[in-house]
Structure 1
Amino acid sequence: MTDTSTAVAAVSARGLSKHYGDTVALDSVDFDIPANTICGLFGRNGAGKTTLMSILTAQNFASSGQAWVFGEEPYENPRALSRMCFVREGQRYPDDARPVHAFAAAELFFPNWDAEFAQQLIAEFRLPLKTRIKKLSRGQLSAVGVIIGLASRAEITFFDEPYLGLDAVSRQIFYDRLLADYAEHPRTIVLSSHLIDEIADLIERVLVVDDGALVLDEDADDLRGRAVTVVGNAKAVDEFVAGREELHRESLGPVASSTVLGTIDDADARLLEQLRLTTSTVSLQELIVRFTQHADQTGALR
């Protein structure tokens, strides 16, 4: 569903940096997110994900570098800002605001707002419309943001941990509705999440930020094929791994498990059989964790 033919990327950054005194929140980040793509933005707490999204949506300033939305700088640009929706954890509302007020305001701001879709989501999330937002549970507050993010149908929607407090059923409703509506109304969606395995089947592109630096920017399908885990006798594992780049290793007595970069070709398959080693696929979550750890150790990903 990714539209790679689009001349101008939906979101771009070049040399994007943000410093708070001596603290580096973002360190010269470069990337392009194609239009009509679901992109996963991952990283540990404090890695710089929220700072990045805040700059892209003109809610924060970059210390240096540039960011563009459909080729335009977003800051003080009403046209660019009207094309984006930023759903963030802990969104603040006036003390007397109720969900019905939040949705009415969203309808005025977002030109593609779908009121019927919003009502459907309100019913599915069982959201009380007349309760003050400050009295809502954490899950109900998250549902307000999720509904706005989906029903806005903005050309670019950023979800920053949008489902904290949602139970498993509500999170699945979110994933199902997002994917179905994206299929009917393609747009660019950036999902920042720690629940990588839960959204692995949704995302088409992966960005990973670690300690302010972009350590991974890759098509999700390509990333899934970049590593394999080999398990068996430790000496046999050593023989197979020799000359390959190892992301992670675990040992238990004479048995070792090694996750290495690369795919398995016919010659590798014959060697694995000869060494009596088995292989297993690496989940997207494990890949991202291992790549991040590897970046910490080597300073770069190859």
Structure 2
Amino acid sequence: MRCEAEFLDVTLRYGKTTALDAVSCCLQPGTTYGLIGRNGAGKTSMLSLLASCRRPSSGTVRIGGEEPFENANRMGEVHLVYSRDMSEEDDSIRVTLEHAARYRPGFDMAYARDLLSRFRLDPAKPLNKLSVGMQAAVNVVEGLASGAAITLFDEVHHGMDAPSRQLFYEALIEARQDSDRIIVLSTHLVSEMAYLFDQVMVLDRGRMVIDEPYDTVVDRGVTVTGPAAEVDSFSGSYTVIDRKTLGGTAAVMLYGSLSARERAEASARGLELSPVSLQELFIHLTKEENAYAINQS
């Protein structure tokens, strides 16, 4: 599979602050990426580079083999969707989408109207008269209908209620079916959105610490529960990213795949193995005390 977009040893600095530190990655067509990280990890900075809002301090960003910054042929292939202040925007939803369609040849207005109906949005209503959640839905409609080869959603679900978020997720699944679009979802709602991810990218303090298929990532996490002495003996050679005890029972979270032989050994010792969710892994992998061990694994 080809790299439609790639980062090659990209660093981005704002004065003395390093937002991205030597990041390299490859975005492949037809893939939905979950971009996760704590506040300030560099997620928005990474998306802004893809969207040609700025150029890197060092390293190279490429889209279709070309650097996109100030490159009209490539800038139009990327659409960045983010929460914005609409308090001064009195254009109607219809006019807003018509403006968007003028600048994006692939914009599907019929699909946009269908999405407006699903979200129960009145096309005649001004943006500044909408609730925060409705404004977010307008952003979602614009992004999905844009037809952009690379569509970036940066915490765009902010303010949306649960039913609206579910509509968004269903539309995302539709958008990636029979399509080569690259979709990047930057989110803190990891547990709710994980099922949408084909590939997981975890940024921690500006560095890419994980960039792997979703199934590979979650297979690396396992919780081992049982008598404390047996748990500690079994887990001694693994990377332990969390440990809890209750009386004589311990539960440790390991980072690393277990072979069939190792799982059989755990069972023979009377230990219980259980999977770990992506959210649990994310929380523990980005703890200060785990950073070095995970970067070395």
Instruction: Mark yes or no: TM-score above 0.5.
Output: yes
What amino acid maps onto 2:279 in structure 1?
Answer: Q
- The amino acid of 2:291's aligned partner reads D
Task: State the TM-score, normalizing by the size of structure 2.
Answer: 0.94
CA–CA separation in structure 2 for the residues paired with 1:60 and 1:128:
35
Tell me which of 283, 286, 295 is aligned to 2:277: 283
Determine the structure 2 residue equivalent to 1:144: 138
Deviations 1:91-143 (A, max 9, x none): 66863322112200111112211111111110111113223212321101101
Percent of matched pairs sharing the same residue = 36
Q: C-alpha root-mean-square deviation of aligned residues, in Å?
A: 1.7
Deviation digits for residues 30-85 of structure 1 (CA, Å, limit 9, x no counterpart): 11111211011000111110011111111123211111112111111111111111
1:51 to 2:50 alignment? no
1:119 aligns with 113
Is contact 2:30–2:179 with CA below 8 Å preserved after alignment?
no
Say if 1:245 and 1:298 are closer, same or farther in 2 by CA, change over 3 A: closer
Q: SS at the partner of 1:76?
A: coil
1:161 and 2:155 correspond: yes
Q: Provide TM-score, normalisation by structure 1.
A: 0.92
- Structure 1 distance, partners of 2:134, 2:66, is 35
Amino acid at match of 2:7: A
Aligned positions of 1:17-96 closer than 5 A: 17-90=11-84, 95-96=89-90
Structure 2 matches for 1:233-248, cutoff 5 A?
A: 233-248=227-242
**Matched AA of 1:102:** T
Amino acid corresponding to residue 300 of structure 1 in structure 2:
N
Q: Aligned equivalents of 2:80 and 2:91: distance in 1?
A: 19
- Which one of the candidate residues 286, 289, 293 is aligned to 1:292? 286
The Cα shift of 1:295 comes to 4.5
Unaligned runs of 5+ in 2: none
Q: Aligned to 1:230, which of 214, 224, 229?
A: 224
CA deviations 1:181-209 (Å, max 9, x no partner) are 21033310011001112221111111111
**Structure 1 residue ranges without an equivalent (≥5):** none
| Structure 1: distance between partners of 2:189 and 2:269 | 36
Q: Number of residues paired by the alignment?
A: 296
Q: Look up the equivalent residue of 1:58 and give its one-letter code.
A: S
Q: Is the 8 A contact 2:241 2:290 kept in 1?
A: no
Matched residue type, 2:64: F
1:64 & 1:266 partners in 2: Cα distance?
44
Shift of 1:172: 0.6
**2:155 & 2:234 partners in 1: Cα distance?**
40
Counterpart CA distance in 2 for 1:92 and 1:219 is 36
- Matched to 1:185, the amino acid is S
